[in-house]
Amino acid sequence: MIFALYVYSAAYAVTLESTVYPIQVIAPDEALATAAMSASEDAWRATVIELGFAPPLMRDAAGDAVEGFAISFVSQGEDQLATFNILGDIPETPASDCPTRGVVNANHMDEPGWLEMTVVHLLNHASLHAVDCLEPQMPSFDFFTVAVEHLLGVDAFGPWYYREFQSHPEASLDAVYSDRDHAHYQFGSSLFPLFLTERYGDGSGALLADIWARTPQDGHILFANGELPMGDVENEPDYLDAIQDELAARGSSLDQAMIAFTEWRFFTGEFNDGEHFADAATLPEVFVDGQVTAAAFPLEVTPTRPLAEYASSYVLVDVAAHSDPLTLSFAGGEGIAWGASVYVLDEGGAHIGDHHLALDGGAGSIDLEPAEGPQTLVLACTALTDGSHDPEDSDWDQEHTYQWSLDEAPLDDDQCLEPHGSCMGSSKPSGLFGLMLPLGLVVWPRRSRVLERGAPIR
């Protein structure tokens, strides 16, 4: 059935075979076939030879699975741009791999850059399927492939993808949206693998090939309908497991990467500080959930948009010059782990420092030294997981909230040392304090200092 989806007439189709790589192009005319072959050879060289992605697999004339990239251009109206067909199982290999054939709508190939983008897209998809055919269709394959397009400078749709993704940091990293308004999200999430290759690799994209090599499991493709396969095994490990495994081998973790990604996706556009994404200046700014001026204390901030797992949130606080230290506290909602950081911007918006809160059970606080001039504090947090997050589970509910609290340093050590003085009793209880207390998480740095000096706590 798969092979019958598209029938080409030898009378008008041109078939080209590469003399450099195992690539076959079928197109309605010689000019398109030649251009497509050139683009395909460039794509093979850049992704398979230079980045180390697996060679794509196709079926030869005898029906055997062999290394190669097969792509056909057909005229099929205006709507669809490109798709691919999974060409069944390869029983002689243990992994749940599969050959594919790319299919492109020839009617769109006059648009500048679309041919090159489409060829890289389908060739890289073929490389990924040649390793594991059973990853979730979106965002998994597009997550990696759109990142590769971006790295090769052929992501003609990148601006739309990244604008949508950056508009929804509260959404889960691996979320998939079917509605048209948000359909770019699962392509824009390729910003995360772009971050991975810059932060943990050499920036080329080779790290992404290493990660993908960790995705496959043994199993068979029982059936496929176009892009959608059905296998006889669970997709375990999945691509998030593969990222975790690769980062663990490099001394990090997916959770640590998510916390760092929260920072990287903030310093884009007008906030580009030259220390994060290489092309941060051209990436859209991330959605900021609120901007407040700290005119009076205590100041408490909660987000308007609850977060999903593997999501981020930002609030900007303008702080006037203050001669007294401030205490900044974070309390994440129960049930999941969190990361919390503060990025300090000067009056002109330059990034001049960071604080990373040590959280215990999702809560923690730090003391901020007096500032010599006005500053903006970027209060950033990362919603991690409840210990379980699997791409196949659609674990994307946006139900987690948090609270930041900024206050003048409410207590000095002398008060704690007075006879009958009670640190807990003399502090200024806030909503946050009350929120944290039942969790048993109140570990204020200043009280720790008092403890070290042997003063009574209560």
Would you tell me which residues interact with Ca ion (CB under 5 A)?
90, 93, 97, 132, 215, 235, 238, 241, 385-386, 388-390, 395
Nearer to Ca ion, 39 or 308 (CB): 308
**Closest residue to bound Ca ion by CB:** 93
* Least distance in angstroms from the C-beta of 89 to Ca ion: 6
| Helix/strand/coil for 109 | coil
* Least distance in angstroms from the C-beta of 210 to Ca ion: 15
Nearer to Ca ion, 164 or 174 (CB): 174
Nearer to Ca ion, 176 or 301 (CB): 176
Nearer to Ca ion, 123 or 130 (CB): 130
Q: Which of these, 84, 85, 77, 86, lies nearest to 106 by C-alpha position?
A: 77
For 314, residues 6+ apart whose C-beta sits below 8 A from its C-beta are 169, 266, 286, 287, 288, 289, 378, 379, 380
How far from 299 is each of 328, 343, 363, 404, CA to CA, in Å?
9, 18, 17, 8
For 92, residues 6+ apart whose C-beta sits below 8 A from its C-beta are none
The values of phi and psi at residue 251, to 5°, are 80, 15
Nearer to Ca ion, 234 or 275 (CB): 234
* Least distance in angstroms from the C-beta of 389 to Ca ion: 5
Q: Which of these, 171, 165, 155, lies nearest to 189 by C-alpha position?
A: 165
User: Residue 320, class by beta-carbon neighbours within 10 Å (0-12 exposed, 13-18 middle, 19+ buried)?
Assistant: exposed
* Least distance in angstroms from the C-beta of 392 to Ca ion: 7
* Least distance in angstroms from the C-beta of 264 to Ca ion: 23
Distance CA 321, CA 89 (A): 66
Nearer to Ca ion, 235 or 427 (CB): 235
User: Residue 115, class by beta-carbon neighbours within 10 Å (0-12 exposed, 13-18 middle, 19+ buried)?
Assistant: buried
Nearer to Ca ion, 275 or 386 (CB): 386
* Least distance in angstroms from the C-beta of 33 to Ca ion: 31
Kind and range of the H or E run holding 244: helix 239-249
- The one-letter amino acid code at 289 reads D
Beta strands in 289-436 (DSSP E): 291-293, 299-301, 311-319, 326-332, 338-345, 351-356, 363-368, 375-383, 402-408
* Least distance in angstroms from the C-beta of 219 to Ca ion: 8
- First-to-last C-alpha distance (Å) of the chain: 77
- The one-letter amino acid code at 132 reads D
Query: Helices marked H in 45-190 — which ranges?
Result: 114-129, 142-151, 158-166, 185-188
For 263, residues 6+ apart whose C-beta sits below 8 A from its C-beta are 276, 341, 343, 354, 380
Nearer to Ca ion, 241 or 318 (CB): 241
Distance CA 321, CA 204 (A): 43
What one-character-per-residue DSSP string does 222-236 give?
EEEETTEEEESS---
* Least distance in angstroms from the C-beta of 259 to Ca ion: 17
* Least distance in angstroms from the C-beta of 391 to Ca ion: 7
Nearer to Ca ion, 215 or 268 (CB): 215
How far from 50 is each of 75, 149, 379, 407, CA to CA, in Å?
32, 14, 40, 53
* Least distance in angstroms from the C-beta of 216 to Ca ion: 6
What one-character-per-residue DSSP string does 178-216 give?
-SGGGTTHHHHTTHHHHHHHHHTS-SSSHHHHHHHTT--
* Least distance in angstroms from the C-beta of 151 to Ca ion: 23
The values of phi and psi at residue 426, to 5°, are -95, -5
Nearer to Ca ion, 169 or 284 (CB): 169
Is the CB of residue 24 less than 8 Å from the CB of residue 69? yes
Nearer to Ca ion, 219 or 284 (CB): 219
* Least distance in angstroms from the C-beta of 241 to Ca ion: 5
Nearer to Ca ion, 128 or 411 (CB): 128
